[in-house]
Chain A
Amino acid sequence: MKKKFLLIITHGNFGKELLKSVEMIMGEQEDAAALGLNLGDDVDVLRADVERIIAENEKADKDTIVLVDLLGGSPSNVGLYALKNHDIKVITGVNMLMLIEFFSSREFEELEDLVEKMINSGVEGIKKFQK
């Protein structure tokens, strides 16, 4: 089975810290990276970083799953634009459970199934409790 790489792209340090927080629970993970876009950053620089990471993955015969925060935001625009030249998966609305599902299941789920599982877990974790 092909190795799978997780690339998180968010506003600010949200993605980087999210990855760190998940690694606090699951231990350090290989084949995962997070990029952040801050005020005053050039989106084209971010786009080039994303291109480079995906191209390296392709060379190493790894699949890339891109997680972005807000549909319609710049990180999401960059992630979706990468679909033009690359056979990748993009999921919006990144959260902790999506990452946990990815790291737990990536070694034995096919790409399509893994993406579905990640989305389901991401949504399933949202529950309401009240008195």
Chain B
Amino acid sequence: MAEPMRIRAALQGDVADVRILMRHPMETGQRKDAKGDIVPTHFIQNVVVTHNGRTVLDAQWSQAVSRDPFLGLRVKGAKAGDTIVVTWTDNKGDKRTDEATVAAAS
């Protein structure tokens, strides 16, 4: 089972600065294990971010994204208390959804 994401969304004016840290091996299919066998590809292919239920970012990734991926985006017109939901899907069909609340500017 995939581990939870860490999501931070902080307001800067009317823009929410969203930072997401996912936990995923992101295997390229080029790496060999200790026995010399190729480790099969295993990577996140799709990430969908919604703001109050509306899709703001729909990302498609290859195995070139680093292990434990970081994703940063900015959402205009956000307010404190808004809901950010992030869902990723990998090439094995695993999924993980987490949500966060937009925090007021500090």
Q: Are A and B genuine complex partners?
A: no
